Amino acid sequence: MVSRAIARAAVLMNNNSGKKSHGKPTIATVAQRAGVAVSTVSRFLNGHYVSKEARARLTEVIEELGYVRSWTARNLSLGLRGCVGVVVDSSQDLWFTQLLAGIEEELSTRDTSLMLASLELSGRYDPRIVQQWVRERRVDGVILVKSQRRDRPLIHECTEAKLPTVMVAPDEAVAHVHVVRCDNRAAGATVAHHLANLGHKRIAFAGGPEHSVDTRQRLNGLREGLEERGVRLDPKRVSFCASYEADAGCQFASEILKAPLDFTALVTGNDALALGFMRIAQQHGIRIPERVSVAGFDDIPEGALLWPGLTTIAQPTREMGRAACQKLFEAIAEPGEQQVLVYPVDLVVRESTARPVKP
Amino acid sequence: MVSRAIARAAVLMNNNSGKKSHGKPTIATVAQRAGVAVSTVSRFLNGHYVSKEARARLTEVIEELGYVRSWTARNLSLGLRGCVGVVVDSSQDLWFTQLLAGIEEELSTRDTSLMLASLELSGRYDPRIVQQWVRERRVDGVILVKSQRRDRPLIHECTEAKLPTVMVAPDEAVAHVHVVRCDNRAAGATVAHHLANLGHKRIAFAGGPEHSVDTRQRLNGLREGLEERGVRLDPKRVSFCASYEADAGCQFASEILKAPLDFTALVTGNDALALGFMRIAQQHGIRIPERVSVAGFDDIPEGALLWPGLTTIAQPTREMGRAACQKLFEAIAEPGEQQVLVYPVDLVVRESTARPVKP
DNA sequence: TTGTATGCGTTATCAG
DNA sequence: CTGATAACGCATACAA
């Protein structure tokens, strides 16, 4: 007992003068300098009850010492990791990089780092890394981006482990997790109105995979939007691609261009499909938008880079990234109700759509 | 012997039974179950000296308990953060996202997370977040991607703070840090040979900023490569853009297209510039590659998406990301010599280059 | 409101 | 080679 008290005294001595550790001031240094207990400092740092005088003294001392708290220690004490996981099919996805910017922004305000996981890093689907995260609880929460049907087991594991989870733009109906997405139906309707206003009557739709919720909602929006303008979307002109990749758009184009085009405007399930279509169409000498107008969804940056620029629907992607992060932090702080946040979309008109030469 | 071990185990059991842990097994749980001290377990985990028997017993117990070590605690003890910083102008940069994939890959093998910082997140240059990182030592090291002249103060702060630093594809001459980059001179020479082989004699170069090291090296490589084929690069056909963005490429195109083209092939400082040029050229009805061949550097994914596809020089970007990460970990483990890793490049031929119609 | 004492899970030191 | 124990820096019941 006595020896222990002495040891403690020695420690305090050390903290006082020599700063034996990394040289950086700790909560103890601050406490001592301010003449209060460490717990008071801790309470102050976390915004709990502290007397006016102590508060003033502490702000002063902290400033003076240039003290910054150790989040590692805090996390250890709290049983946290100070790190959230972000999961996406491929970090190459351009829409995702915009989302990432929003996440990054929000993360930088807290002291939380992030771990990235691409489900398809090396060409084939492999969710094991993420499964490790949840099993070993290497992250305090996860943001699942654009998850699909094949991710169901993964999602299940997250909820099962009671790991705070936020899904962004899920292409699946999900429950028991926060969701941040855009208004796909409105997006479809907006495109519809744009094309109808230009005078298009014969419009085709080339979606992503048929079971994709995004595709279905966008298609519904398109159909309804056209009907509102008295234009009918002929089911014969509706088709689906195998994926959302540009390759699938190329394939669709190669297929459809075997016969003469019987439509004046094409709406695709997303921008990548549109770009793929445009690439092949141009290769075939088909002029856009003179011969056919093209519109997509997502507003990926490439759309603005090529000629003609792609008319598309923009989501407030960065804002959605920030929101996802905020929701995740809320969920980590106190697991509560699951919310669904729906964001409005915007039409971006570029050169790929124009009045039809002959309706 | 045996009975003593058992007795000790019993005591430890008692000691431990009162603990209110999160239910997860800790190093102590493992130690008592295996009948050894925590320090032995720790040594085992870190690959230090442990007797054969203890080693065997521990692997067994750890497997049995499903024990996973707490990296938070480890970092606290080691004075680390378990997190590296990755800094780039804009996380939207497509070349960067490929690099990120490599970094991600390497990070996932260790238990280290990452913090992202875009120097130009909100439109204007703002290195304050990164400065905070180094001052408060919120990261164990940083990877600086494509840093430029304006980043000099930042780099200085990093080295000053003795923060392990790796630079990837720096566009500046730097010392005292690890560097991972590609062979820009060879890249230029490779393009030169490709174009010369196609029969081009009148070749133009539109670089990035004039002081850019990348641009200068690529230009030198191009010039030398052409000379090797007996083609002279006319200085009148060499110009520089204000930036490496597509916009600058557009601007260059608008400018140069005011007069008739006096060259049959254009090499740009990077792919983005090439895309910008192509967009405007096509808008002006200039056919690529019939009227002018175009080649860039970097092999960003968009280059393959449009028509005609862009001929370019590919870097082993992902591998470079992994290497940067590895070097950083080495530097964190033991600060030592600064190395420069130079990676070879590859020519990717697409549709934007062809034989000139009339040399 | 403040202070005391202890826990969080590892690693490092140093004596056996 | 192994074991006991002091850091690491912070949070928080509990007592005052």
pLDDT, mean over chain B: 90
Q: Dihedral sign, CA of A11, A12, A15, A16?
A: negative
Beta strands in chain B (DSSP E): 83-88, 113-118, 141-145, 165-168, 178-182, 203-207, 238-240, 265-268, 293-295, 312-314, 340-343, 346-348
Are A116 and B104 an interchain contact pair (Cβ–Cβ within 8 Å)? yes
Nearest beta carbon to residue A111 from set B80, B116, B138: B138
Q: pLDDT at position B357, please?
A: 87
Protein CA A322 to sugar C1' D12 (Å) = 32
Q: Which residue has the tokens 């997006």?
A: A187
Residues with CB under 7 A from strand C: A 35-40, 43, 49-51, 53-54, 73, 76-77, 79; B 18-22, 24, 26-28, 38-39, 41-42, 45-46, 67-70, 73-74, 76-78
Q: How confident is the model over B101-158, as pLDDT tens digits?
A: 999 999 988 889 999 999 988 788 999 889 988 888 889 999 999 999 899 999 999 9
CA-nearest residue to B248 within chain A is A305
- Cα(B221)–Cα(B345) distance, integer angstroms: 13
- Mean per-residue pLDDT for B179-208? 97
Global pTM value:
0.88
Dihedral sign for Cα B210, B215, B217, B222, please: negative
Q: What is the predicted pLDDT for the residue at B100?
A: 94
The pair of structure tokens assigned to B157 is 């702060």
Per residue, the 3-state secondary structure of chain A, as one string, reads CHHHHHHHHHHHHHHHCCCCCCCCCCHHHHHHHHCCCHHHHHHHHCCCCCCHHHHHHHHHHHHHHCCCCCHHHHHHHHCCCCEEEEEECCCCCHHHHHHHHHHHHHHHHCCCEEEEEECCCCCCCCCHHHHHHHHHCCCCEEEEECCCHHHHHHHHHHHHCCCCEEEECCCCCCCCCEEEEECHHHHHHHHHHHHHHHCCCCEEEEECCCCCHHHHHHHHHHHHHHHHCCCCCCHHHEEECCCCCHHHHHHHHHHHCCCCCCCCEEEECCHHHHHHHHHHHHHCCCCCCCCCEEECCECCCHHHHCCCCCEEEECCHHHHHHHHHHHHHHHHHCCCCCCEEEECCEEECCCCCCCCCCC
Q: How far is CA A106 from CA A46, A94, A112, A168, in A?
A: 20, 19, 9, 15
pLDDT mean over B48-70: 91
pLDDT score for B108: 85
Q: Which pLDDT tens digits describe chain A residue by residue (359 residues)?
A: 333 333 333 333 333 333 334 568 999 999 999 999 999 999 999 888 889 989 999 999 999 999 999 999 999 998 889 999 999 998 888 889 999 999 999 998 888 999 999 998 878 899 988 998 888 888 999 999 999 989 999 999 999 998 999 999 999 888 889 999 999 999 999 999 999 999 999 999 999 999 999 999 999 999 999 999 999 999 999 999 999 999 999 999 999 999 999 999 999 999 999 999 999 999 999 999 999 999 999 999 889 988 999 999 999 999 999 999 999 999 998 877 889 999 999 999 999 999 998 76
Which residues of chain B make contact with A76, given a CB cutoff of 8 A? 70, 72-73, 76
Show residues of chain B in contact with A280, CB under 8 Å: 307
User: CB contact, 8 Å: A347 with chain B?
Assistant: no
Task: Name every chain B residue with its beta carbon within 8 A of the beta carbon of A309.
Answer: 279
Q: Which residues contact B81 (CB under 8 A, 6 or more apart)?
A: A71, A72, B75, B137, B138, B139, B140
Smallest Cα–C1' distance to nucleotide C5: which residue has it?
Answer: A39
Q: Both ends of chain B: CA-CA distance in Å?
A: 92
pLDDT value, residue B111: 81
Kindly calculate the radius of gyration of chain B based on its CA atoms and give it in whole angstroms: 28
| Residue B75 pLDDT greater than 60, yes or no | yes
Question: At A96, phi and psi to the nearest 5?
Answer: -65, -40
Residue whose pair of structure tokens reads 């009227």 in the numeric block: B291
How big is chain A, counted in residues? Answer: 359
pLDDT at A359: 63
Supply B303's token pair. Answer: 């280059």
Q: Is B68 helix (H, G, I), strand (E, B) or coil?
A: coil
- Residue B212 tokens, joined: 């850019």
* Whether pLDDT at B6 is above 60: no
**DSSP code for B19:** -
State which residue has its Cα closest to the C1' atom of C13.
B39
The answer to whether residues B200 and B265 touch, using CB atoms and an 8 Å cutoff, is yes
Q: How far apart are CA A61 and CA A32, in angstroms?
A: 10
pLDDT of residue B9: 36
Distance CA B280, CA B253 (A): 6
pLDDT digits (tens, 9 = 90+) for B25-48: 999 999 999 999 999 999 999 888
Which CB contacts under 8 angstroms, 24+ apart, belong to A44-47? Answer: A45/A69
Q: Which residues 129-188 on chain A approach chain B with CB closer than 8 angstroms?
A: 129, 136, 138
Q: For residue range B210-231, list pLDDT tens digits in order.
A: 999 999 999 999 999 999 999 9
Give the rounded percent of residues in chain B with a pLDDT score beyond 70.
93
307-336 in chain A: CB under 8 A from chain B: 307, 309
- Measuring from the CA of residue A77 to each C1', which nucleotide is nearest? C8
From chain B, pick out residues whose CB is under 8 angstroms from the CB of A278.
306-307
pLDDT score for B302? 87
- Output the pLDDT for position B359: 64
Residue B282 near chain A (CB below 8 Å): yes
**Cβ contact (<8 Å) for B97 and A92?**
yes
In Å, what is the separation between the CA of A7 and the C1' of D6?
Answer: 9
Task: Give residue B217's pLDDT.
Answer: 97
